[in-house]
A = this chain, B = another copy of it.
Amino acid sequence: MADLNNLLSPFFLNDKEVRKVIELLFFSYRDFTSGPDKILEKLNFGRAHHRVIYFVGKKNHITIKELLGVLQITKQSLSRVLNQLVNEKFIIVSTGFDKRTKKLSLTEKGKKLENELSTIQINKIRGVINEFSEEDINGFKQILYEMIEVDNKKTFQEIND
């Protein structure tokens, strides 16, 4: 009977309940980014710098084009932020096999910052999901994944090859 109920009409949240989810996303995402924001501020960096550092750390030798695909900003926007990171020696650039391309890597200084920023978010997530079951955590990840648009799901898969 319990299964039947679920088969015939999936669990339904009314508008009021769905709005709570909207708010949970807003509040949780803001607090999720606030930790790194404080560290970045001291370096006169912003969240844009964090994203670049994160994804260069994620995929060593990532090209400008790939990075633009992940971040979905214009190259002019990326350029300003990336040049700062290169000038301040958080990132080094080398030439690819295809000599038109450039490969980005974190320097030791960059790795140190990446680690500092990511550790905050990793610990935050770990602290939270520690209290939940494997099923809850898998459900959480799956729901977030399904909220991503099709094209960006591909991007997510690609950076996790």
Contacts and interface: CB of A to CB of B under 8 A. Distances in A.
A144 B28 contact: yes
Count identical subunits in the complex.
2
A136 interface: yes
Contact of A121 (B22, B145, B155): B22
A68 to B, nearest CB: 14
Given A141-B21, A148-B24, A134 B11 contact: yes
Given A58-B19, A122-B15, A125-B22, A143 B132 contact: yes
Contact of A137 (B13, B25, B58, B156): B13
Interface of A: 6, 10-11, 13, 15, 18-32, 34, 51, 54, 58, 72, 118, 121-122, 124-126, 128-137, 139-149, 152, 155-156, 159-160
B29 A159 contact: no
B125 A21 contact: yes
Given A13-B129, A126-B13, A23 B139 contact: no
5 contacts: A10-B131, A13-B125, A23-B58, A28-B148, A135-B135
A27 B155 contact: yes
B18 A25 contact: no
A159 B28 CA distance: 15
